[in-house]
Structure formats: structure tokens, C-alpha cells
Amino acid sequence: MRIFIGHDSRFPQATKVCRKSMQNYNDNLDITFLEKEHLKKYNFYGRAAVKGESTEFSFTRFYVPMVCNYDGIAMFCDNDFLWKCDPTEMVKYLGDKTIAVVKHKDMDIKQTKMGGITNKSYPRKNWSSLIIYNCSKLRHLTKAYLDSAQASELHELRWVEDNEIAEIPRSYNHLVGYYKKHNRIKAIHYTLGGPWFEECKNGELSEEWYKVLEN
């Protein structure tokens, strides 16, 4: 399984800590930083810039099957994840489906995140923050489609049939600030802002991030 981490050039430390947290459990992973400018340089990514995008990887995640030449299994996660397991263990949840995600229930969304950025609410919020792709089933995610599709269509996963979305347990996408802490968390997701933000440096589960940073 190829692994792609959404990279934001403003916060490189977050991406590096995310990668290191995976490597702590498996040092033989195939990990790529998914960089928007790199995808643009090689003519993969052609979406026009939109005011209000909270990260540089808001849409790059959907280009993963194309980057993989529509072959094999690939995983994407936001860079504000901290892994407490080997991510490859999630492959079993994909089965013969097209994608697998954690199907978060609709929740009361906090108004701001990441240094005051507006936190938008929409159906299937946070589902696209962690996706396992069966790339061979996603040839319809062409550059022409991805470059022009509406943001809501992409993030609400309307490009795949509902019965083709497998479910990953919630412990692999533990939303800090929304879910109660427990001792079975597989991946921490600092969705409201991680310790690399001044206002979040002493936030919930921040000590876990600093442990990996120190390594």
C-alpha cells in the first residue's frame, strides 16, 4: 500500500511528525508527501485557487488514484494525524470496495479551527481526511473531472456509490475536541489544530505529538 500525507508548506513539521509516527510502527513504508506545487509542476493538478482553502491539500487528496496510475491500493491522510499503529493494518477493511473511510456521524462543528480559520460544516464532514483507495476502480477520477468538480461533490464523496464505501473503525480517526479520550486510539487527528499552532501547543493529547517530535 502506498501512503500519501497531505503536505502544507507552511507547516512542514506537522507532515514530518505524521510520517515519523507511522515509521515508529513500520520503518518499511512507502510514504510520499503530497505537495500541491509538485503536482502542478508535473501537470497533475489544475484547480484554480479558491479563497478560504484551509490547507494546501484540501483537494490534492482526490488526485491520489491518478498519481498512482489507477493501480494498486493507496492511502491518504491529512498531515494533522499522529499514528499509534502501522497504517497498513487498515487494508483489511477495504475488502473489495472502492474506498474505505471512517464514517463520522454528523456533529456540532466548532466555528473556527487552525488559527481562526472558519470551520465549514457539510455532510460527511471529516470522512475525506483519511481514505484508502482501490485505485483501479477510480479511473473516472480524471484530471478534467478533478480540476472542475465542486468542492462539495469531492469532499462529500459523491464520486463513489454509497455501497462502495467500506467503513474503518473510528479509532483510526480520533477527532480531538469531539471524541472522548480512550486507550484504544489508533490514530489521533488534531482536526481543530495541532501543537504546531501557538494556541494549541498545550491542547488535548498534545503530549503525544511532542513525544514523536523529540525523536
List, in order, residues 6 or more apart from 108 with CB less than 8 Å away. none
How is residue 28 annotated by DSSP? T
Report the distance separating Cα 200 and Cα 4, nearest Å: 25
Domain boundaries, the chain: 2-213
Amino acid at 204: E
Q: Residue 215: what pLDDT? A: 86
Which residue, 117, 76, 123, is CA-closest to 104?
Answer: 123
List, in order, residues 6 or more apart from 42 with CB less than 8 Å away. none
Cell output for 175 = 477527532
Strand partners, 49: none
Looking at CATH, the fold of the domain delimited by 2-213 is given as Spore Coat Polysaccharide Biosynthesis Protein SpsA; Chain A (3.90.550)
List, in order, residues 6 or more apart from 57 with CB less than 8 Å away. 6, 7, 8, 34, 36, 78, 79
Q: Residue 53: what pLDDT? A: 77
Q: Residue 49: what pLDDT? A: 83
What is the torsional sign of CA 131, 115, 38, 17?
Answer: negative
The residue ranges of the chain whose pLDDT is under 70 are: 51-52, 108-122
Q: Give this prediction's pTM.
A: 0.93
Cell output for 70 = 489507477
Q: How open is the CA angle 77-134-101, to the nearest 5 degrees?
A: 45
Q: Residue 54: what pLDDT? A: 83
